[in-house]
Amino acid sequence: MFSDLMSAVALVGSPETLFTIIVASFFGFVVGALPGLTATMAVALLIPITFLLSPIAAIASIVSAAAMSIFAGDIPAALLRIPGTPASAAYMDDANALVQKGEAGYVIGASAVFGTIGGIIGTVILIAASPLLADFALTFSSFEFFWLGCLGLSCAVLVAGDDLLKGMASLMIGLLIASVGMDYTTGFPRFTFGSWALLEGISFIPALIGMFALPEILRLLSQRAAVRKLPEGAPGSALSKIGQAGRRYWWPSLRGSVMGTAIGALPGAGADIAAWISVAVTRRATREPEKWGKGHIEPIVAGGSANNAALAGAWIPALVFAIPGDTITAIAIGVLYLKGVNPGPMIFIENGSMVYAVFLVFLLANLMLIPFGWLGIRIARLVLQVPTTVIAPALLILACLGAFAINSDMSGLLIMLALGGLAAIMNASGLPLAPTVLGIVMGKIVEQNLMQSLISTQGDLLAFFDRPGSALLGVMTFAIWGFVLLRSLFALARRRSPR
């Protein structure tokens, strides 16, 4: 084991690997910061380059680019209310509200620091408990995933805040959008209007760009002021504020990291779902609910830790059973095979030094977040000084590029426009956008696992409580919905009763 570790240090310490980590981090930073280009896309774009690299440098490039782009996605979310990656959408409102108070440096710095913490905790769990956690992840069948999806959907209602009905309405819109495309069990085309471009469903990225970027660009364009004047932030350096946040909110950060790793380890649930669930749980548990939505650092701490931890978690089933935890590890497994490294239980014995090298790369890649966070703060200062007349058209071009890039055809652009229009209407009628996005993300997971479970039990609903894990998650789901229902009934009763 020790000799494995030493040779791993030598592998990672080679100039090629170190150089790859820096270049890939920069690449991930740029891709993540551009709205609509996701961490998955950053990794997919790297594949041709990994052909030229040594196995460990190839993996290093994937890990660094993914970790960096998940963090960098927070930057446009905070500055422009346009999430760079879906994982940033969960805590965008608070991040942007803080920037409006003049705290851009604080937000981006905190996002980098807590991203690092989440990533490192995730890596430690990956190192310590890979085989154990992989076994756990393997016990999840369609029943457990169905309930997990339901819990995820409940988050929509929890994060929606006070207006339960509007949150539900928005969630239903998201679920309706998710049902477009070929029916999973019968292959029947739903809501496709005979178009084969819609058979694959509404692509998530153009939808996200349309819903968040287009209304924001329109708003920027309609503003009279050429340069946004932001107030001075509260006194004190960004660094000391981050330190304070760390002391105050160490528990949401730790909880987010552990939950993020666990969710990331489940095949089919990635960084975005981890961030949503962590933010929702933190919102339930917070001692300061009145601060949420008005520029509060707690959701950024919870979500930022969770999504970077999820990246490490996704590697647990990938390394042990070659089962991808998310789309990024799906690509990484392919690259590992190409490099003649076969993931699986044997990898720890046959390729021990490789495994340790992957762990070391994870630590390095996450530490890179700090210097790039500093770079992000610098860039933020510039971006905030650019007049809106310049920034809005530039964003429009980027948005169109992102929507087009997903499939290299016009269908992405049309989806972006259609959902942009929908978002504008929803904004005008006071419907929150976040539950719709969650509905689009989770809708397919819930439906496919529900159908798969129902078919395998031939329609027996009680079977959803047969398996212990499934029963536990099911009871949790009902408890949350029951609680929310009771609370709104009480609120209704109080309003009816004479004052």
Q: Are 411 and 197 in contact (CB under 8 A)?
A: yes
Under the binding rule (CB under 8 A), the answer on residue 417 touching other proteins is no
Out of 40, 64, 111, 305, name the contact with other proteins by CB under 8 A. Answer: 40
Under the binding rule (CB under 8 A), the answer on residue 324 touching other proteins is yes
What's the closest the beta carbon of residue 266 comes to other proteins, in angstroms? 11
What's the closest the beta carbon of residue 47 comes to other proteins, in angstroms? 6
Which among 478, 463, 470 is positioned nearest to 140, based on CA atoms? 470
Under the binding rule (CB under 8 A), the answer on residue 221 touching other proteins is no
- Binding segment for other proteins (CB under 8 A), chosen from 79-87, 149-157, 235-243, 321-329, is 321-329
- Rounded CA-CA distance 286/320 in Å is 36
- Rounded CA-CA distance 394/396 in Å is 5
What's the closest the beta carbon of residue 390 comes to other proteins, in angstroms? 25
Under the binding rule (CB under 8 A), the answer on residue 340 touching other proteins is yes
- Binding segment for other proteins (CB under 8 A), chosen from 251-259, 407-415, 416-424, 478-486, is 407-415
| Token pair for 457 | 């039990």
What's the closest the beta carbon of residue 328 comes to other proteins, in angstroms? 9
What's the closest the beta carbon of residue 68 comes to other proteins, in angstroms? 19
Under the binding rule (CB under 8 A), the answer on residue 2 touching other proteins is no
Out of 162, 193, 290, 408, name the contact with other proteins by CB under 8 A. Answer: 408
Q: Which residue has the tokens 């539950």?
A: 435
Under the binding rule (CB under 8 A), the answer on residue 44 touching other proteins is yes
Closest to other proteins by CB, 9 or 454: 454
Under the binding rule (CB under 8 A), the answer on residue 142 touching other proteins is yes
Closest to other proteins by CB, 395 or 406: 406
Under the binding rule (CB under 8 A), the answer on residue 187 touching other proteins is yes
Closest to other proteins by CB, 217 or 440: 440
- How many residues of this chain interact with other proteins, rule: CB under 8 A? 51
Closest to other proteins by CB, 56 or 380: 56
Under the binding rule (CB under 8 A), the answer on residue 186 touching other proteins is yes
What's the closest the beta carbon of residue 95 comes to other proteins, in angstroms? 29
Out of 54, 141, 179, 427, name the contact with other proteins by CB under 8 A. Answer: 141
Under the binding rule (CB under 8 A), the answer on residue 323 touching other proteins is yes
| Token pair for 314 | 């996704």
Closest to other proteins by CB, 164 or 451: 451
Under the binding rule (CB under 8 A), the answer on residue 348 touching other proteins is no
> Using only C-alpha atoms, what is the Rg of the chain?
22
Q: Which residue has the tokens 């993914």?
A: 66
Under the binding rule (CB under 8 A), the answer on residue 330 touching other proteins is yes
Over the window 425 to 444, marking each residue x when it contacts other proteins by CB under 8 A and - when it does not, the resulting string is --------------------
Under the binding rule (CB under 8 A), the answer on residue 51 touching other proteins is yes
Interface positions with other proteins (CB under 8 A):
40, 44, 47-48, 51, 138-143, 181-182, 184-187, 196-197, 199-201, 267, 320-324, 327, 330-334, 337-338, 340, 342-346, 407-409, 448, 451-452, 455-456, 458
